[in-house]
Chain A
Amino acid sequence: MTRKPKNIFVEGPISSEKIATSIQNHSSKTDIGAHSIFLGQIRADEKEGSTVRAIDYTAYEDMALEKAFEIREAIFEKYPLTCMHIYHSLGEVKVGEISLFVFTSSKHRKAAINACEELVERIKKELPVWGKELLESEEATWKENT
């Protein structure tokens, strides 16, 4: 059986409850000794004489899910991980809210930490996802990843 791409998209912000539950769900996996978590938060950047109040995310979903699956397989291949979870928001996420949640778990810390970092970098670089920055002035600009 071939594994099918798992949905990574969440409508709106990722709640702290979801993150807490996700951590809690791993307590029964007693071979895990380390978790690494990355949380991407919406920043109130100054843009065009105004301030970002939210980001509206859209994606080429089918391609993004295929790509996420490919990245996931490659990272599992490279690091001795027990678990890996990726969640990305779609739609509007306000300043201060979370739009990306990456969670890796392993026996020892190095694998979890390095895998988490590489995952975040690859997600930002390779997933066809776009953020439109909504400004206080009711204008909008397209976000660019640095």
Chain B
Amino acid sequence: MLAEKLPQPKFEFPYQKDSDELLKALNQEYPFLEDLKFSLAVDKQLVQEKTPLKGSEEIALLPPFSGG
């Protein structure tokens, strides 16, 4: 649902110093994200609080899970 709206399912994004800045920048670049519910994962770990970034991390935008 998210991947369908983004230009590509995987892409590089300009460096941001932490997860809060990254979210802000993503929302600016893709304003439709504001209306979507998703959580952020950094290197396969769900972000619970502001997380510093190095720039090489794998970031994932995860819509609400619906497995099972």
In the complex, are the beta carbons of B68 and A40 less than 8 A apart?
A: yes
Residues of A near any B CB (own CB < 8 A): 40, 57, 59-60, 62-64, 66, 88, 99-100, 120, 123-131, 142-145
Query: Contacts of A127 on B, CB cut-off 8 Å?
Result: 65, 67
Cross-chain contact of A62 among B44, B62, B64, B66 (Cβ < 8 A):
B44
Total interface residues on B, CB under 8 Å, equals 11
In the complex, are the beta carbons of B44 and A124 less than 8 A apart?
A: no
A123/B41 contact (C-beta < 8 A), A63-B60, A142-B1, A142-B63 known: no
Name the prevailing secondary structure of the B interface residues: loop
B22 to chain A, nearest CB (A): 17
In the complex, are the beta carbons of A63 and B67 less than 8 A apart?
A: no
> C-beta contact mask, B25-67 vs A, less than 8 Å → 1, else 0?
0000000000000000100100000000000000010111111
A100/B68 contact (C-beta < 8 A), A62-B44, A63-B41, A63-B44 known: yes
- Complex CA–CA separation, A62 to B41 (angstroms): 12
